[in-house]
Amino acid sequence: MAAWLAAVYVLCHWVALALWPAHAQGVSFAFLVIAPLLAALACAWRMRRSEARVGWLALAVGLLLWAGGMALNMYQDLVGGTPDATPGLSMLLYVLYGVPLTFAMAHPRHEPWYLILIDGALALLLGYLFFVHTFSFASVGDAPDAGVASLRRMFDIENLFIAVFALVRYLASEDAARRAFFRALALFAWVYLLMAAYINHVATEASYGGAADLLIDLPFLLLAVVALRERPERDATTPRRLALAVRAGSPLILPAALLVVSALMVDAHPHLAVVGFALATLGSGLRGVVMQVRAMERQDQLDVLARVDGLTGVANRRQFDQVLQAEWSRARRSGQSMALLMVDIDHFKQFNDRFGHPLGDACLRAVATALAGCASRSTDVVARYGGEEFAVVVPGTSREGVLALAETMRRAVAQLRLVAADPQQQIGVTISVGVARVGQIASIDAGPLLAATDAALYEAKRHGRNRVVEGHVGPVPLA
């Protein structure tokens, strides 16, 4: 339906020119102002239904700027009394329409507000440079032929810039919503590029009100049709490395645009061009620093996740293995002792079967918290060994000290009370603890200590549970 309406719009434009040749210019201006407004409305409608809201909003703003430029052209020709003049303010709005589009291409998804603020500042600076550059060649009311030629060159660069980068963003997009947006933007940008090139370089002598005006309708009506058609995007087949490279490089689009415009201004405004070069570099650098800090923060979070058990918050099995080997090697070099505790929650399977997994998870968290609270020394490490089993590495302690710690942990867990579905029902939990200690370490392998601790835990469970049993490390082969 949208495509048929677009065709009817172009047909009505042609019929109006044919029926009212004496008023062709005014009629054509009306169609040329309404076409981008319709496209802007379609983009605003799509914005409310898409996750790529920033992109559709920026595109709608750009289209409103373009419509404003055409409206100023209409005023100049029909009311201002200077037909076929090229008002500089109108030219400025035509140029500024590309600033929101450039911002949309440079804006990665899910960015925090301060990065959006940096991009917004660069976009505003780009708009200001466009403003200065435009009025270097034009006045508010008119532009000489030489100025128009320079502005056409700037239009060509801007249009090609937008078309190329919109296509790149589309080809490298993995997210369906953003892929749909960049598809619409790329189609519009390439059709607009061809239309503008024809109007600016071929039909240069044609006045508004002729058949060439029908071409100007096309990119805007095409965009409106694409925006209104919510066609599902196919799964992207973009190589992952290319997608990541484009996503990482997209913030450079705004600084690149600033550098291009600054280069165009070197002759007319050298000092402002230097400012543009400097701010483009500083903005890109500042954004890079912020992104690097965020990457480091995410890496820190990943490091924590790699070392911490997600359910209980204590060290995971991988971290336990590393700590055990590191403390074993340190004790072997220093001649200190080392002890290990293995802790198992008594009858945990029956607990889960009776009260359900949510309360079972709560039990694991409560036991882990109790064990960690008893391990007061910074060198003691509590880890989830697997399932309902925990392990505690206790370096540099006496036999009495480690046994006292094990008994403290057992009592702390025995005092826990978990609340079931019935608030009146409080459930107790107990643990069995196996303990083993090595006074003088001569081997490079901590396996005998693990075996002795595990055997002690087995004995504690075999003799009734809810108790601490000490194991003994057998003969350890010398390193």
CATH number for the domain harbouring residue 361: 3.30.70.270
pLDDT tens for residues 23-32?
888 899 999 9
Is 388 an active-site residue? yes
User: Pick the catalytic residue: 327, 388, 389, 470?
Assistant: 388
Segment 47-68 shows an average pLDDT of 92
Report how far residue 380's alpha carbon sits from residue 340's, in angstroms, rounded to the nearest whole number: 10
* Domain span holding position 59: 2-304
The phi-psi region of residue 423 (left if phi > 0; otherwise alpha if psi is between -120 and 50; otherwise beta) is alpha
Instruction: Tally the domains of the chain.
Output: 2
Are 277 and 295 in contact, with CB atoms under 8 Å apart? no
Q: Quick check: 97 and 69 in contact, CB under 8 A?
A: yes
The tens digit of pLDDT for each residue in 345-375 reads 999 999 998 888 999 999 999 999 999 999 9
Question: If we measure between CA atoms, which residue out of 202, 200, 192 comes closest to residue 167?
Answer: 192
The average pLDDT across 244-273 equals 85
Asked if residue 464 belongs to a domain, the reply is yes
Which tokens hold the place of 220?
A: 């805007």
Q: Report, as an integer, the average pLDDT of 431-448.
A: 88
Name the pLDDT band for 289 (thresholds 50, 70, 90).
confident
What's the pLDDT at 437? Answer: 93
Whether residue 399 is found in the same domain as residue 453:
yes
Task: Tell me the average pLDDT of the chain.
Answer: 86
Q: Indicate whether 177 and 296 sit together in one domain.
A: yes
The mean-pLDDT minimum among 286-295, 313-322, 324-333, 353-362 falls in 286-295
Domain end, chosen from 276, 304, 332, is at 304
Is-above-0.85 flag for pTM? no
| Domain shared by 202 and 289, yes or no | yes
Q: Are residues 338 and 256 in the same domain?
A: no
First to last CA, the chain: 83
**Residue 251 neighbours by CB under 8 Å, 6+ apart:** 106, 108, 115, 119, 284, 287, 291
pLDDT at 207: 76
Residue 75 belongs to some domain of the structure: yes
Alpha carbon distances (Å) from 453 to 327, 400, 466: 16, 16, 16
Residue 477 lies in a domain: no
Residue 453 has pLDDT above 90, yes or no: yes
Q: Is the pLDDT of residue 83 over 60?
A: no
pLDDT of 470 strictly over 90: yes
Do residues 106 and 194 both lie within one domain? yes
pLDDT band at 478 (very low <50, low <70, confident <90, very high): very low
Say whether both 170 and 235 belong to one domain: yes
Residues 393, 297, single domain; the answer is: no
Within-domain flag for 113: yes
Residues 343, 289: one domain?
A: no
